[in-house]
Structure 1
Amino acid sequence: MSKPNKKITSKSRQTCWIGADRLTIEDLEKVIYGKSKVGISSATWKELNAGHEFLKKFSQDKVIYGVNTGFGPMAPYKIPDDKHLELQLNLIRSHCSGSGKLVSKEQTIALMIARLSSLAKGYSGIHPEWAELLTQMINEEITPHIYEHGGLGASGDLVQLAHLALCIIGEGKVKDNGEDRPAKEVFTEKNWTPLRPRIREALATLNGTSAMTGYGAINVIKARRLVEWSELSSALLIEIVGSYDDYYSEGLNGVKAHAGQQKAARRLRELLTGSKRLRDRSDHLYCSHENKKLDDKVQEYYSIRCLPQIMGPILDTLIDSQQTVEDELNSVSDNPIIDYQNENVFHGGNFHGDYVSLSMDKLKIAITKLSLLIERQLNYLLNDKLNQQLPPFVNMGTLGLNLGMQGAQFVATSTTSENQSLCSPVYIHTIPSNNDNQDIVSMGANAALMANRVIENTYEVLAVKLLTAIQAVDVLGIQESLAPKTRKLYDLVRSRVPAFSQDGIMYEATHPVLDLLNNTDPQTITGEEKASKSNNK
């Protein structure tokens, strides 16, 4: 393999350079969901090579864990020089023990980028060819079979990353254009040479938090889009209700010191700009009333009135999760650390995934609360006794004969309930393993996968609620009174699902909305720039 070209910023806008710059969630999003590629600069190549050459000399007369010793509880066993390659290969093959379902293509690529980022920092002692091959696999979307089950998140995500290493040495299976194929066969077609570990490349590939970090990055991307869709959907609900505007005012929310609440209120004000459906309290209630019982509702239900207070903590948690994942993405999670500049090797536990594990638990809880909010908003729309302006179940057909959105509510309710069941924290579910060498672990990959399940579930709940809200707009005939952005939302959904009054197969209406939410960036409507805490320091 030849050395990579020098980094040329002006000609490399579509390249995410690994090793030199701080990686952000936006960078991963451009690679995984856009057209950007990853690259290794000449400077990074030189650093990797310098670290590799240092370790080769440094380890000749010293005991270095995982170079000339066994692994885990078998570290006291010194390995003969002629068995070092066999040691590394044994580590890879023996730890390819994953089971369960394969993780998604997006999760796998994110895992690969996270591992490449850690290795490219130059503290793992790998030969740079390992980083180059991994770069090629990412760019051509040749993804190893990575299974959900197996990682403890201390000593890193050993099992998941072993399956990555297995493909690098030309064994195991990969996905190529959605097809399951032997890695050796794909490598032959692409004229790639399978690699063999020189000193500790196997351990360097396995030891780290890259699975949970990659999964966590996907969670942040999906959760951020989910929150934006939820804000749009909530703004539409506000218009359906004909809400008073002071709930979202700067005057009300500005006296609360939480940044998330103020941001949530500001976003709602922006989304509702130009709406003809909002009411000014002074026009309706801040005047004399002779009747003892008012016709107007003085205050709306909490799922409408308290949106900034509920969405605020969710936004703050999302920002915190993004910061944690980005910090881990830019960290070296290997053991030991090969510091060629200071000519030393440090043994420790940077592979421990507690930061990501706790962060994913917090994100999971926040998104579950979001699903509860969405479900309550849905219930408000469906219950004519609550909203007092829509037919039961937003039924546009004949009451009694037709059922409207009644059947879809069951899916939303049961899925929200599943989210509540998934909210038990994983961070505290440590179980000792590895002959008690790993006596307290993070379960970070499990935490990230469960958070992903909660996020996916919440998209399903939101799809039902959004379709219901769109039907409600048609019942009330308020399309022309909507704000420009919520009108775009209405038109976008209606381009997928026409208004219906007669009962049909319900999933043929809800699934297209779910597909829309999953595969469309809400910024096509909002036009807002994504904000990263790390970029706002």
Structure 2
Amino acid sequence: MSLSIGLGAHLTPAALIAGGTDGLAVTPDSWPAVTASADFLAAWVAAGKPCYGVTTGFGPLVAFDVDPTAAGHGLGLIRHLCAGFGPPAPPAIVRAMAISRAHTLAKGYAGISAETLRRWAAFAPEAGQLTVPRYGSVGASGDLIPMAHAVSGWLQRIGLSDLPARDALALVNGTALTTALASAAVATGERLLRWSMRATAEVMAALGCTDAHLQPRIHTLRGHGGQIATAAGIAAGLATLAGPARVRPLQEPYSLRCAPAVLGSLAEALAALTAAAETELNGISDNPIVDVAAEAVWHGGNFHAQHLGARLDLVLGAVVQAANLAERQLALILEPATNGGLPPLLASRPGAQSGFAGAQRAATAPAAQMRASCMPQSSQSLPTNLSNQDLVPFSVGSGWTLWDRLADWARLLATLLLAAGQAAHAHDHPRTTAFTAEHELSLGRFSADQALADPIEALTASLLISG
């Protein structure tokens, strides 16, 4: 199914990540707007009026005039910005970045030529084939360097040797990579949040807990929507795992009793990121803005990605705490003092067997790494570009950090779910192991120590793409 973009189309973060597999459909109303924008800009320049990047140099070199008819100015922009480094961005992110930029350009405020837009929109769903380094954007003046790498690869594929300066600048100047990363974080974060609620229910079932601390009245009295929803989600999961309750303390440990607060906070942070990403995706992040209706070419700062950077950092902190929750829940079912009579480390023959000892150590390592990497980047501004960009949000850095930490959290959840399955085997309650069977990862009851790296990685991959 094709994805509609441009004037009159409204994209969601979910649609950006999942849509466009059958191509992009630029809405009919977009083409007159795009043509009018390009014609207006041409007339503006012909009248001798200044326009950044068309009659001037780029960045701090705006003080220098250039011939708007000279060849090579646009290609020079792309070439000098191809200075990124690091591992290549995942294809899904590059693809979403390209589609996001096409959607913005098709709204008719960029002054880009209709032919350039047509070619870019036709290619954008295939942009995941391009090699785009992760690093280089500071999240201001748009995600210039990653977009320049994408545009350079695209030009080579379609056999173009140059671009008009305005077309080149329009393609690279916007928050497309930040928007793609935010949209991907929403999709993955919401998925893992559901799995975390499921894992919490699995642990409670394995320990023989009741749903006393999940009663809706408790959470309604506090009033946080995310907490109310996650408490209900955990309770619903627990209800499907019916088994005999065992004698438990009057109050469960915080890693169970306060799970709705921890996961509810994440739910609300994800909602804030979703709203900001959707606004950014459907807004205009260009500079300059060619506003035909106002008969003006505006020079502003809509390319500054602070809105998304701050919310990416907010979600990162909440994800790290959710991962801390998973690590503590894992400890609950491995430690004899808290696991309700299960063997230590779920080893059926302690001493002769080590059970989940290695898996717990391996889970502790990313938990520590996550804590060390959750300093907000959106407030770590450094001036660059001859101090033309003297205050920047580093939103792409926030996005990549969150991307990596989501994968770490998924590994912790995978370890926790497999351990909960073993705990269910130990109690002869196959209800819990049904989860692993669904994913063709049931380990059965341990009769000997097993290498768990492959099952954990396989389940991690499953958690990241399903649910």
TM-score range, shorter chain: over 0.9
Question: Where does residue 83 of structure 2 map in the other structure?
Answer: 97
Which digits, 9 at most, give the CA deviation of each residue in 1:316-373, with x for residues without a partner? 1111111111111111111010012222111110011101110110010010000000
- How far off its partner does 1:501 sit? 2.5
**Scaled by the length of structure 2, what TM-score is found?**
0.95
Residue from 168, 171, 194 that aligns with 1:205 = 171
Which digits, 9 at most, give the CA deviation of each residue in 1:239-284, with x for residues without a partner? 11221222111122111111111111121222233442375xxxx9
- How far off its partner does 1:498 sit? 4.2
Q: How many corresponding residue pairs?
A: 465
- Give 3-state SS (helix, strand or coil) of 2:66's partner: coil
- How far off its partner does 1:26 sit? 2.2
Residue from 3, 11, 17 that aligns with 2:4 = 17
Unaligned residue ranges in structure 1 (runs of 5+): 1-13, 171-182, 188-192, 285-294, 523-537
Confirm or deny that 1:146 pairs with 2:98: no
Contact 1:68-1:80 at 8 Å conserved across structures? yes
- How far off its partner does 1:41 sit? 2.2
Question: Where does residue 236 of structure 2 map in the other structure?
Answer: 270
Q: Give the fraction of aligned pairs with identical amino acids, expressed as a percent.
A: 29
Question: Where does residue 515 of structure 1 map in the other structure?
Answer: 461
Contact 2:100-2:281 at 8 Å conserved across structures? yes
Contact 1:496-1:512 at 8 Å conserved across structures? no
Question: Where does residue 36 of structure 2 map in the other structure?
Answer: 50
Confirm or deny that 1:445 pairs with 2:396: yes
Residues 95-494 of structure 1 correspond to what in structure 2 (within 5 A)? 95-141=81-127, 143-170=129-156, 183=157, 187=158, 194=160, 196-277=162-243, 279=245, 296-396=248-348, 398-479=349-430, 482=431, 489-494=435-440
Contact 1:156-1:207 at 8 Å conserved across structures? yes
Amino acid at match of 1:80: D
Amino acid at match of 1:89: L
Question: Where does residue 27 of structure 1 map in the other structure?
Answer: 15
Contact 1:51-1:126 at 8 Å conserved across structures? yes
- How far off its partner does 1:195 sit? 7.0
Amino acid at match of 1:21: A
Question: Where does residue 66 of structure 1 map in the other structure?
Answer: 53
Which digits, 9 at most, give the CA deviation of each residue in 1:81-104, with x for residues without a partner? 442x31111111011000111111
Q: Would the alpha carbon gap of residues 130 and 500 (structure 1) be closer, same or farther in structure 2, given more than 3 Å must change?
A: farther
- How far off its partner does 1:298 sit? 1.2
**Alignment partners' CA distance in 1, 2:58 and 2:346:** 62
- Give 3-state SS (helix, strand or coil) of 1:17's partner: strand
**Alignment partners' CA distance in 1, 2:9 and 2:461:** 34
Unaligned residue ranges in structure 2 (runs of 5+): none
Amino acid at match of 2:454: E
**Scaled by the length of structure 1, what TM-score is found?**
0.83
Amino acid at match of 1:518: L
- How far off its partner does 1:136 sit? 2.2
**Alignment partners' CA distance in 2, 1:445 and 1:472:** 41
- Give 3-state SS (helix, strand or coil) of 1:66's partner: coil
Amino acid at match of 1:464: T
**Alignment partners' CA distance in 1, 2:100 and 2:69:** 32
RMSD: 1.9
Q: Would the alpha carbon gap of residues 215 and 201 (structure 1) be closer, same or farther in structure 2, given more than 3 Å must change?
A: same
Which digits, 9 at most, give the CA deviation of each residue in 1:404-438, with x for residues without a partner? 11101111111011000001110111110111111
Which digits, 9 at most, give the CA deviation of each residue in 1:182-222, with x for residues without a partner? x3xxx4xxxxx537423501111111111111111111111
**Alignment partners' CA distance in 2, 1:256 and 1:304:** 17
Q: Would the alpha carbon gap of residues 509 and 427 (structure 1) be closer, same or farther in structure 2, given more than 3 Å must change?
A: same
**Alignment partners' CA distance in 2, 1:274 and 1:426:** 41
**Alignment partners' CA distance in 2, 1:505 and 1:199:** 57
- Give 3-state SS (helix, strand or coil) of 2:222's partner: coil
**Alignment partners' CA distance in 2, 1:196 and 1:47:** 24
